[in-house]
Amino acid sequence: MDTLDTKTLQEYDRRYVWHPFTQMKEWESEEPIVITRGEGSYLIDSDGNRYLDGVGSIWTNVHGHCKKEINDAVKRQVEKLEHSTLLGLANDKAAILAKRLVDIAPPGLCKVFYSDNGSTAVEIGIKMAFQYQQHRGKPEKTRFISFRNAYHGDTIGAVSVGGIDIFHGVFRPLLFPTVQAPSPHCYRCELSPERNSETCGRLCLKELERLMELHGPETAGLVIEPLVQGAGGMIVQPDGFVRRVRKLCDRYDILMIADEVAVGFGRTGTMFACEKEGITPDIMALSKGITAGYLPLAATLATQKIYDAFLGEYRELRTFFHGHTFTGNPIACAAALASLDIFEEERLLDNLPHKISYLKERLKALLDIPHVGDVRQAGMCGGIELVKDKESREPYPWEERVGIEVCREARKHGLFLRPLGNVIVVFPPLSISIEELKQLLDGIEDSIKAVTG
């Protein structure tokens, strides 16, 4: 089955695969690119065409595709043990990885609860926070504060704390209600008419504090994507915002749950985004980059204080009754360990600043294009917002799908991109070279000009 030709593969895909976030009626009328290989920053299709992976295979890839050291680690692990449960047993790779994660995590996070995707990592955080409040004698603390434009995954609990109406609206009747705070989306600030980034952040915090004053006593936790709201459109928070949110959570006795599923593992220039703000959340969700894009794995980290609240006699029912079948899978953990080794051996974080500056310079230059309204960046993650009218910031109507058109055009330049509405996303493997980054930004620039010109 490995050697089917492109036509047959496309036929099988069209006939049998239901793709995520995809209008299948359209998909069925197109010829999909079928990826069969990966090499460094490139994906290679069944006809041998190469595409620079501009979105790091949906924000997961760190060291490039088919990285020898990770391949070898996975092969070695497969020969030893493919899976064994964490229900009633430990396994070596899960134990070693937990220690390594605690070593690099913001100080104070010291317990690792495994699962296998970002949505579950967040839901586990929500359930932990909820049950924690019960155990410490605050059963009235049952609510959560979430942010507008937030994305925490697609399962029902994760959607409940999400704030993107176009994805989440249809499921509203199924969701638990949250207290929704404004997010500092300076370019489109709803709170400050002058849309100035400093006032926007300040006004958002003021409103957050007002909501906490009102709902604090009944609130268990606050869920935040620190530094960058990813799927909401690569919306970058002003410096100090996360730090102030941490302070407010302390003041109103609310647990802070940091969703670092997208930004963890070096994306913003430090190992974790919270590190940039010098804070430790009470709970931190990790996934995407954890295995460098190799295998599904997630971890929810918690502090000793939270963990201790779950300790007791068996009959007291303080146990955290939650677990997934593939929790702590040793092959996935082996890939994650190999990835952390590469971070150290290749001094990956030390090598990022010049790539980050290059990206910054190139993004800034894109503002000269008439329909580029805003560019946003945090480390090696960038967003380019296209607008119909720059003066008034009038967006392109979503039905025009200008983002999709730009990404389609970019294929002619040998790039694979995936937009977020009218925002073109730049999220390449962290291992990308400057030459490849140049190819990526040149292609994006030309594609934007071709489509919006």
Ligand X SMILES: *Cc1c(COP(=O)(O)O)cnc(C)c1O
List of residues contacting ligand X (CB under 6 A): 117-119, 122, 151-153, 225, 230-231, 259, 261-262, 287-288
| CB nearer to ligand X: pick between 61 and 287 | 287
Asked if 192 and 200 touch (Cβ cutoff 8 Å), the reply is yes
Q: How far is the CB of 434 from ligand X (least distance, A)?
A: 26
Q: How far is the CB of 243 from ligand X (least distance, A)?
A: 19
Degrees to nearest 5, angle at CA 248 with 245 and 253 = 125
| CB nearer to ligand X: pick between 167 and 358 | 167
Q: How far is the CB of 326 from ligand X (least distance, A)?
A: 13
| CB nearer to ligand X: pick between 10 and 155 | 155
Task: Give the count of beta carbons closer than 10 Å to the beta carbon of residue 47.
Answer: 10
Q: How far is the CB of 90 from ligand X (least distance, A)?
A: 25
Q: How far is the CB of 214 from ligand X (least distance, A)?
A: 26
Helix (H, G, I), strand (E, B) or coil at 29: coil
Q: Which helix (H) or strand (E) holds 360?
A: helix 353-366
Q: How far is the CB of 413 from ligand X (least distance, A)?
A: 26
Q: Return d(Cα 318, Cα 20) in angstroms, integer.
A: 37
Distances (CA, A) of 282 to 79, 83, 125, 341: 38, 30, 9, 26
| CB nearer to ligand X: pick between 205 and 295 | 295
Helix (H, G, I), strand (E, B) or coil at 249: helix
Task: Give the count of beta carbons closer than 10 Å to the beta carbon of residue 434.
Answer: 11
| CB nearer to ligand X: pick between 53 and 445 | 53
**Amino acid letter, residue 306:** I
Taking CB atoms, the residue at the shortest distance from ligand X is 118
Q: How far is the CB of 262 from ligand X (least distance, A)?
A: 3
Distances (CA, A) of 58 to 41, 115, 119: 13, 19, 14
43 CA to centre of own chain: 21
| CB nearer to ligand X: pick between 158 and 189 | 158
The DSSP code for 65 is B
Pairing of strands 372-378, 298-303: unpaired
What are the residues whose beta carbons fall under 8 Å from the beta carbon of 70, sequence distance 6 or more? 63, 292, 294, 335, 338, 339, 342
Q: Return d(Cα 27, Cα 19) in angstroms, integer.
A: 9
> Strand order of the sheet with strand 35-39?
35-39, 42-45, 50-53, 415-416
| CB nearer to ligand X: pick between 123 and 445 | 123
DSSP E strand stretches across 89-203: 109-115, 143-147, 179-181
Q: What is the 3-state secondary structure (H, E, C) of 411-435?
A: HHHCEECCCECCEEEECCCCCCCHH
Q: How far is the CB of 26 from ligand X (least distance, A)?
A: 22
| CB nearer to ligand X: pick between 262 and 295 | 262
| CB nearer to ligand X: pick between 41 and 119 | 119
Q: How far is the CB of 430 from ligand X (least distance, A)?
A: 16
Q: Whose CA is closest to 257, among 241, 266, 246?
A: 246
| CB nearer to ligand X: pick between 106 and 153 | 153
Q: How far is the CB of 405 from ligand X (least distance, A)?
A: 24
